[in-house]
Structure 1
């Protein structure tokens, strides 16, 4: 169990890539903190992890966009009280509804997407860095989109947030590199049969793209000992071989 004694918090853990990562990491011994605002989805992945015989996870219902900074800090305090430290943080939550031209965006929708996709990862990193620093080695993994880096038309707030998120990850990695404790990397999953992909490309033949489970080896690599010393990287699932 290579991830035994690893405590890993996953945002967006209720479905899609977050649930895929949660189950894969739990099967390898990690204690998973499942964070999502959708309680039924949390319960489903909780049951799946327990059914797999993995360590019992913790459900933490949480609204990334609606929570106050005090509530973020309360979460960090609760994790410290229960576990003492944190070995991993996966930013997998995402807000995307549909492709839309900038001219038709409503300010409320724009702000909500940026809150989930960019501001929440910043606040989480800030409040959880002290707990990650208490570990001998820890990993922060952001989830991006290689298509967004091309400034794709109609990608809107989603595209802007992913471009900014990659910049934020690079800055954070540079700041933490000297400490040699916390590695920071960005995963670009590529085309996989995920709920987000279904919303973005509803007419696409999903049998022609890999399942979400194809990313499991990458999650194990990014949070396992094999990636110690690897930081500041953008890892494309289509080309990277762990």
Structure 2
């Protein structure tokens, strides 16, 4: 059993960006990071959801977060360059980046994957992560220590029939993490993956509509992994994949 008991406010004065921060695991991670002292940059496509997370952080006494409304499906390298410039101007650095946002689209046989689904999944799950990471790496290099976390999946580690473009995109995510970890070995950036496992989220409900989700862990139940990997000063993991559930 993994146990991690972070010190109160261990993320004080840290700046952390979370993608897909309006819902599910991303929302819970943003709230958790703020609860431990971080200033969180909330990135997502639905402003109303981001504003709700913003309000909750303020209500809980956290540092005022920043909201970045951005639809990764249509974002271009210029959008990410502009975001990097804004973060540098406002905060001068970035202490953590959690790649949480991804999409599923239709599941089914490989031969039935449409070009539309393929392009959509690769754009959000792979290309956006590539562009955002490339734009923000200079800011992640500024602190003495920082954390870069990718989100993988069980089907991105061992392929499973009918998981289509989503599974392939998660293999790419795993490869991106491993490549970056090797390139930035012995640097101040800790680079890892989290496999959250079956968690009570809207994406899980779409993949398993008949499942009794009351039997699943909630995002809050697995937050110790997300907190640990964001603790760049004490985390010993680098280039690894942590499995939040057996």
Select which of 23, 29, 54 maps to 1:21. 29
Partner of 1:98: 106
CA RMSD of aligned residues (A): 1.2
How many residue pairs match? The answer is 238
**CA shift in 2, pair 1:225/1:170, >3 Å:** closer
State whether residues 147 and 232 of structure 2, in contact with CA within 8 Å, keep that contact through their aligned partners in structure 1: no
Taking structure 2 as the reference length, the TM-score comes to 0.93
Indicate the residue corresponding to 1:109 in structure 2.
117
- Distance of 2:232 and 2:158 partners within structure 1: 32
Using the TM superposition, give the Cα deviation of residue 219 of structure 1 relative to its aligned residue in structure 2, in angstroms: 1.3
Asked if residue 230 in structure 1 is aligned to residue 233 in structure 2, the reply is no
How far 1:227 sits from its partner (Å)?
A: 4.2
Deviations 1:128-186 (A, max 9, x none): 0000100110000001101332211111110000011101100100000132x001000
Q: Does 1:40 align with 2:48?
A: yes
Deviates more, 1:95-104 or 1:140-149: 95-104
- Structure 2 gaps, min length 5: 1-8
Stretches of structure 1 that go unaligned for 5 or more consecutive residues are none
Which residues in structure 2 correspond to 1:173-212 (within 5 Å)?
A: 173-179=181-187, 181-212=188-219
Task: State the SS of the aligned residue for 2:68.
Answer: strand
- When structure 1 is superposed on structure 2, of 211-220 and 161-170 the one drifting more is 211-220
CA distance in 2, matches of 1:192, 1:3: 25
Match of 1:55? 63
For 1:150, what is the secondary structure of its paired residue? coil
Q: Which residue of 1 aligns with 2:148?
A: 140
Which stretches of structure 1, 4 residues or more, deviate above 6 A after TM superposition?
Answer: none
Distance 1:141 1:225 in 2: 11
TM superposition score normalised by structure 1? 0.95
CA distance in structure 1 between the partners assigned to 2:146 and 2:15 by the alignment:
10
